[in-house]
Structure 1
Amino acid sequence: MHDMVLVEKVDAEAELDRLADHYRSAGGTGVKLLNKLGGSAESLLDQLPDPVRQGLTGATEHALWAAIHAAQGSRRAVPDQKPWVNTAVTTAMGAAGGLGGVSTALVELPATTTMLLRSIQGAAAREGFDPAEENVKFDCVRVLSAAGPLSYDDGADLGFFSVRLTLTGPAMQRLIAAVAPRLSVVLGQKLAAQSIPVLGALAGGGTNFVYARYYQQIAHVHFGLRRLAIDADIPHDELVRKLSARM
């Protein structure tokens, strides 16, 4: 019995190392490049026209609702793809959206949000969770409330993994109302980066590449922690503390 417990502990530690690698790789050179091109995450939002900034939360809520329906429907028709395929498709969408600046980027927003959600669902499935289950659907949407790649800093958003949203009433409606304001800031930074003069479609493709990669890695950590809590019978909050110590 003692040996069995020891093996389980070693496996849990190895799995935490793997998840820490996923978290660290959510950042990287792509994020640093976008910050250099577009300025800081905070200053990017100031580059957007006032009407666009004012309408971001509403546009994000619409994009989330469309993404939920489209992502779930597309799962029945198109199986989960490898992460690089999701990233490639999302990058192509961003390049197309960046051709006409903010106006075309806004049109592209729901499609990109859908692809991001599909990639999160794929990460959940790879960790052994069924994206069709209600609690997994909620968690997939909740991953989109992470700080976002342009705000990335080692360990800065680890608190996200231990946050539990309290939902009353129509659950998904409340969830989207809670997630949309934070995601709107992240998507606003993306829109502003796509409107960088001269770079156009290159910036659009680059931002979407970074966003797709970021959310896939965050989803791996989020659902990996859930799976590890079940398999190793270790409290989730304790796993988050252990992961934080590795950052």
Structure 2
Amino acid sequence: MDENPNPPVPANRLPEHVLKELREARDILEHRGIADRLTEMIGAPITASLKLLPDSAEKTLYAAVDKSLSVALDFAVNTLGDTDPVSAKPRNFSHKLMAGLSGAAGGAFGGATIAAELPVSTVLILRSVADIARSLGEDLTDMESRLACLEVFALDPGRSSDIDDETEIGYLAVRIAMGRQIHDASQHVLKHGLSNKAAPPLVQLISTIGKRFGVVVSEKLAAQAIPVIGAVGGALINTYFIDHYQNLARAHFTIRRLEREHGAEPIRAAYRALPPAGKA
């Protein structure tokens, strides 16, 4: 029998509770990048602070980002499938506490600690993202689901002024652009493991994520470079940092759950058709 017993629901017939979940997820995924949140916390535009960083900081920063994502890839491939069952609740608070402690060191000693501190923060965030993914029905024994956790580091929407409120497809554009990369990387890992991280599928995936994550890390580093921040501010910034990615993960994996339940195309069509935030 060729008919699908659970055919996708047309986008215009999705239940209201599904559209409500989509709206809430869209508002997280398309607005309020970390720069906006840090600007609110500190009271000064983070983009202006970026100009205060020395030129040498950029090279150090992107080297730290590459190292952090390499460590995170190891963690995603080798560890995420061996954790708690789907029914376990995400341990958001404990992960925020650990991230805050990590950030306190970065705030106390400044940007010089980024090479040591960022890999720790990145893995803490990834662990929290995996908790959220699992709680929303992801099977983390599946390699593509594990790499979808890593994909969250590419989902920061940037400053809200850079978002086109008439299209609202930034998140979907990233998903579509990275879909083939995640598939190819997962197939490579299943066949060859991580014995060769210079393999093109892995290099391409990490490069794509790194470009977007690097911008976010630069905004975080700029905030920590403000003289009045110190250890307490560094801890608070790291707490904001992980909270931001927890929100992105919750929205991202909510949409993936809805795609599993109702079909990817109807959910994506409904997402595109949502009115801009504030005009619903």
TM range (shorter): 0.7 to 0.9
Query: Where in structure 2 are the equivalents of 1:233-244 lying within 5 Å?
Result: 233=263, 235=265, 236-243=267-274
Alignment match, 1:12? 18
Q: CA deviation at 1:146?
A: 2.2
Name the % identity.
Answer: 26
With the length of structure 1 as denominator, give the TM-score of the two structures: 0.81
**Aligned counterparts of 1:16 and 1:146: Cα–Cα separation in 2:** 16
Cα contact 1:196–1:203 (8 A) shared by 2: no
Query: Where in structure 2 are the equivalents of 1:99-138 lying within 5 Å?
Result: 99-138=108-147
Query: Where in structure 2 are the equivalents of 1:80-159 lying within 5 Å?
Result: 81-147=90-156, 151-153=158-160, 156=163, 159=170
Unaligned runs of 5+ in 1: none
**Aligned counterparts of 1:49 and 1:154: Cα–Cα separation in 2:** 26
Letter in 2 for 1:238: A
After the TM superposition, which of the residue ranges 190-199 and 233-242 deviates more from structure 2? 233-242
2:234 aligned to 204, 221, 233, which one? 204
Letter in 1 for 2:74: H
Q: CA deviation at 1:17?
A: 4.2
How many residue pairs match? The answer is 240
Unaligned runs of 5+ in 2: 1-8, 185-198
Cα contact 2:29–2:171 (8 A) shared by 1: no
**Aligned counterparts of 1:8 and 1:239: Cα–Cα separation in 2:** 8
Please tell me the root mean square deviation across aligned C-alpha atoms, in Å: 3.2
Query: Where in structure 2 are the equivalents of 1:10-49 lying within 5 Å?
Result: 10-20=16-26, 23=29, 30-34=37-41, 36-37=43-44, 39-41=45-47, 43-49=48-54
Letter in 1 for 2:257: R
Letter in 2 for 1:103: A
**Aligned counterparts of 1:246 and 1:189: Cα–Cα separation in 2:** 25
Alignment match, 2:56? 51
**Aligned counterparts of 1:239 and 1:120: Cα–Cα separation in 2:** 25
- Which has the greater radius of gyration? 2
Cα contact 1:67–1:111 (8 A) shared by 2: no
Q: CA deviation at 1:22?
A: 5.2
**Aligned counterparts of 1:182 and 1:216: Cα–Cα separation in 2:** 17
Alignment match, 1:161? 172
Is 2:243 the counterpart of 1:213? yes
- SS of 2:109's equivalent in the other structure is coil
